Amino acid sequence: MINWRKHYKKGLIAIGILLSTSALYNAQEGDPAKGAELFKTNCTACHKLDSKLIGPPLKGIVEKVKAEEGLGRDWFQKWIKDNKALRASGDKYANKIFEENGKVEMQQFPNLSEKDIDDILAYTSNPPAEPAADAKKDAKATDSPDLNAVNAAKASEGNAKIVMISLFAIAGLLIWILFKIRQLVKLNQSEEITALNATRIQSFSELYAKYKIVGQGVVALLAILAAYGVWNWLMWIGVYKGYKPEQPIYFSHKIHAGINKIDCQLCHSGAKYGKVSEIPSLNVCMNCHKAIPEYKGEYLEPGHDRDFYNGEIKKLYAATGWDPAKMAYTGKETPVEWTRIHNMPDFVYFNHSQHVIAGEQAIINSFNKKHPNEQIDVVCKACHGKIDTMNVVQMANDFTMGWCIECHRTTEVDMGNTYNQAYFEKLHDKLKKQYGSGAKITVDAIGGIECGKCHY
């Protein structure tokens, strides 16, 4: 005879274990596996774990600094986010290591969250034996890791956790349904057996009746968990933040858009008018580079010298067939294929002009309100980060559905600008009636979270 009571308990125990393991996972301080990927993307240019590169070796650095200087994680958070500010504040240790390392400036990482930094530190304290072995296997034999693989691994890892939790929850629901079906099937069996079973079922239904509230609570919890998991999976599918591929010509946004203050839209003119921003054709480059055959700037990125930059300009000449000695094109061109960094799936409709023209002021204002320490003047930076400080373009946000919707929920539409006045005249009157004339109207109120607006 099946002991329902026993099985019922088993189920509850399994669910208990499930919930507590997922809670444990979140409670952990710093995830070395995530840290390993972040370290690879951000730090390996200058740091190794075991030996000095441009910066000091970082294995066990938290413990070392704690023991020798009495400084804790706070210090590392500040140092890694903005070491320049920390030095400027007069921090003794920060200035000491700066001196000791020949005053080479470490890069700032304002985009890393506290959690990211905890993850990296967890990795330096506790490096896994062979981090991301799978991603490495496919990597080419260059010293820079294959970032495609690394990022794919990173993305799938994040999703895997959510998918696992929801699968468990769905499994729990299925088990419950099976119990129920079994109960019904039993009821339909021959009378004899039914008579026999009656006692058993009765005892189960009694049990159920007794613990009805607990049972229903568990089912409700599982249902919520499953729905939550599926929703999260949809919202955060494909997290690409940090993706930073190598390009055929080492084109530095820091040197062009930052130091030389060239306007983004001189090169990405499409952003203003159309759906895509476009990468400029090499003719655009040549407008300037016919006259700029050499790099004479003062700024040198650590690890690169003038010869390196001049070599990259030569690549541009080779690609366009420009002969700088004769100041003429030879006609021999070899097209350059830039690796595309941002790329929405085909079923997503994203239009730059909606954001760069109609939404420009609204987005800048809302960003500046949300980030009091990080004011922007160019709308592009709200989504693409501080491109003008990047030598190599890197995805600064997640670019997931959750990211789009979060902004639409929290950004107040600028109903006063000429574009929206004409376009939303009727709608605006309606919204005024609906929300009151002084009310804030965010993008979701004008349809910014309707599926059809972003999906074909």
Binders of ligand HEC among 115-134, rule CB under 6 A?
Answer: 120
Residues 6+ apart with CB under 8 A from 364: 376, 377, 379, 382
Binders of ligand HEC among 242-261, rule CB under 6 A?
Answer: 247, 249-253, 255-257, 260
Q: Which of 62, 53, 75, 69 is nearest to 120 (CA)?
A: 62
Minimum Å gap between C-beta 123 and ligand HEC is 9
**Residue span binding ligand HEC (CB under 6 A) among the ranges 6-14, 167-175, 190-198, 350-358:** 350-358
Residues 6+ apart with CB under 8 A from 178: none
Closer residue to ligand HEC (CB): 72 or 297: 297
71 lies in the binding site for ligand HEC (CB under 6 A): no
316 lies in the binding site for ligand HEC (CB under 6 A): yes
The answer to whether the beta carbons of residues 363 and 382 sit under 8 Å apart is: yes
Q: Which of 341, 353, 368, 427 binds ligand HEC (CB under 6 A)?
A: 341
The answer to whether the beta carbons of residues 11 and 175 sit under 8 Å apart is: yes
Minimum Å gap between C-beta 418 and ligand HEC is 11
Closer residue to ligand HEC (CB): 210 or 275: 275
309 lies in the binding site for ligand HEC (CB under 6 A): yes
- Cα 268 to the chain's mean position, in Å? 23
Binders of ligand HEC among 414-433, rule CB under 6 A?
Answer: 414, 420
The answer to whether the beta carbons of residues 274 and 255 sit under 8 Å apart is: no
Minimum Å gap between C-beta 447 and ligand HEC is 3
222 lies in the binding site for ligand HEC (CB under 6 A): no
Closer residue to ligand HEC (CB): 76 or 208: 76
Closer residue to ligand HEC (CB): 182 or 290: 290
80 lies in the binding site for ligand HEC (CB under 6 A): yes
Binders of ligand HEC among 153-212, rule CB under 6 A?
Answer: none
Q: Which of 161, 289, 290, 432 binds ligand HEC (CB under 6 A)?
A: 289
Minimum Å gap between C-beta 217 and ligand HEC is 28
Q: Which of 161, 160, 138, 141 is nearest to 150 (CA)?
A: 138
Count CB neighbours of 286 within 10 A. Answer: 17
Q: Which residues of 335-359 are buried (b: 16+ CB within 10 A; e: fewer)?
A: ebeeeebeeeeeeeeeebbebbbbb
358 lies in the binding site for ligand HEC (CB under 6 A): yes
Q: Which of 18, 31, 36, 47 binds ligand HEC (CB under 6 A)?
A: 47
Closer residue to ligand HEC (CB): 159 or 197: 159
Calpha distance 119→254 (Å, rounded): 27
Amino acid at residue number 453: K
The answer to whether the beta carbons of residues 330 and 323 sit under 8 Å apart is: yes
Q: At 127, list the tokens.
A: 């490096």
Count CB neighbours of 30 within 10 A. Answer: 20
273 lies in the binding site for ligand HEC (CB under 6 A): no
285 lies in the binding site for ligand HEC (CB under 6 A): yes
Closer residue to ligand HEC (CB): 223 or 237: 237
Per the listing, tokens 């003038």 go with: 306
